[in-house]
Amino acid sequence: MRFSGLRVLREGLTGNKGWKAHWRDPAPKPEYDIVIIGGGGHGLATAYYLAREHGLRNIAVLEKGYLGGGNIGRNTTIVRANYGLPGNSEFYSHSLKLWEGLEQDLNFNVMHSQRGVINLFHSDGQRDAYARRGNAMLNQGDDAILLDRGGVRKMLPYLDFDNGRFPVRGGLYHPRGGTARHDAVAWGYARGADMRGVDLIQNCEVTGIEVKNGAVTGVQTSRGAIRAKKVGIVVAGRSSQVAAMAGMRLPIESHVLQAFVTEGLKPVIDTVVTFGMGHFYISQSDKGGLVFGGDIDMYASYAARGNLPAVEHVMEAGMALMPMIGKARVLRSWGGIMDMSPDGSPIIDKTGIEGLYLNCGWCYGGFKAVPGSGHCFAHLMATGRPHEAAAGFRLDRFRTGFGIMDEEGTGAQHNLH
């Protein structure tokens, strides 16, 4: 089923009777060439690119709940390529380029909106750090503009520029950054994978990973055993638990991250803004809700909801930056489970078990990574070689100490990245 303007017109005139379900609901087969555990953004994108780029068809995505019910449907939808360190820079640049052609590629409206991202700075030292980051972005071939206070004021006149503690001195503007509709990304990839023959199996929890003579042979699930030559673990906040089924202990901690949305308002914030002196960032959805969030709750947890101290911190930071936000009423808040790595950068790698592959460690920045991650993980699983854009995301860097990508400079502490 292809989407087009003509199709919408025809369906509109004929009672909308021709639309079909976006994907099938197949029963699991006893055996696949490749099994992907996890039907979030990364798992679905991996299956899509395995089929589209590598011509592989005998693939299943096993999802314990429903497609898009995890972090892919819970995030605050920011897409950007503004990283500073080699390893991350080329990967997120690669991912942003895939975003830019994604809707045409998937024939699906994911509402990708390049409305720009502005990271505010509040001191001379922070300005220098952002100038360095901007130069790294330009060197990578991405876009960055260092704005002074006047430049920011023109774009964001509603900020409290003269806040006594955190005056706004300027910002690093990334025009190609922006947002996309999170669950539409999951649906678009799901539909694209299904169209190419991938079985998307919902309500199918993986409960065990079978390993014989050092090689993976399949998985146990709530819907029976499934044999597979290759298995990819792509389960975000549940990575440690699923990897433990194969006897692996991962350098990952799971933490909760919360987000908030207000009632729908008239257009007021037309870009993404991040506060430089506390963890707070905000954008406005196409429905009008102000979508904002902050830092993780700072304790390890598998609960997809958080606590009041983190809520208070986010609200205080929002009020310090843009007091007008105090007039908006918060409609909902929710949480997701983050797979925090020690250096804040991800892992896309083989494991010590033949045929078992790992994709995790996205912390709270894995939405923008979805196209790049799926593309690079599919390349690794299909060819056995890392994609050049993701060659740095090795699992052994935490054992050897070589190739650590600590963007925040906070050291090996999961909750500080």
| Chain residues that interact with ligand FAD, rule: CB under 6 A | 37-43, 62-65, 69-72, 74-78, 205-206, 234-236, 238, 242, 257-259, 293, 336, 362, 364-368
Q: How far is the CB of 90 from ligand FAD (least distance, A)?
A: 17
Q: How far is the CB of 369 from ligand FAD (least distance, A)?
A: 6
Give the residues across from 113 on adjacent strands: 179
Instruction: CB nearer to ligand FAD: give 95 or 140.
Output: 95
Query: Tokens in use for 256?
Result: 């909760």
3-state SS assignment for residue 359: strand
3-state SS assignment for residue 199: strand
Instruction: CB nearer to ligand FAD: give 256 or 320.
Output: 256
In whole angstroms, give the CA distance from residue 42 to residue 306: 24
Q: What is the CA radius of gyration of the chain?
A: 21
Instruction: CB nearer to ligand FAD: give 62 or 320.
Output: 62
Instruction: CB nearer to ligand FAD: give 127 or 284.
Output: 284
Q: With beta carbons less than 8 A apart as the criterion, state whether 193 and 47 touch.
A: yes
Give the residues across from 233 on adjacent strands: 37, 358
Q: With beta carbons less than 8 A apart as the criterion, state whether 347 and 361 touch.
A: yes
For residue 163, how many other CB atoms are within 10 A of its CB? 16
Instruction: CB nearer to ligand FAD: give 32 or 362.
Output: 362
- Closest residue to ligand FAD: CB criterion: 40
In eight-state DSSP terms, residue 389 is: G
Q: How far is the CB of 51 from ligand FAD (least distance, A)?
A: 17
Instruction: CB nearer to ligand FAD: give 346 or 392.
Output: 346
Instruction: CB nearer to ligand FAD: give 257 or 395.
Output: 257
Q: How far is the CB of 359 from ligand FAD (least distance, A)?
A: 8
Q: How far is the CB of 208 from ligand FAD (least distance, A)?
A: 9
Q: How far is the CB of 72 from ligand FAD (least distance, A)?
A: 3
Closest alpha carbon to 183 in 66, 23, 16? 66
β-pairing, 59-62 with 31-37? parallel
Q: How far is the CB of 78 from ligand FAD (least distance, A)?
A: 3
Instruction: CB nearer to ligand FAD: give 218 or 366.
Output: 366
Q: How far is the CB of 319 from ligand FAD (least distance, A)?
A: 20
Q: Which residues contact 157 (CB under 8 A, 6 or more apart)?
A: none
Give the Cα-Cα-Cα angle 113, 116, 120 (nearest 5 degrees).
145
Give the residues across from 349 on adjacent strands: 358
In whole angstroms, give the CA distance from residue 315 to residue 21: 40
Q: Which amino acid is at 178?
A: G
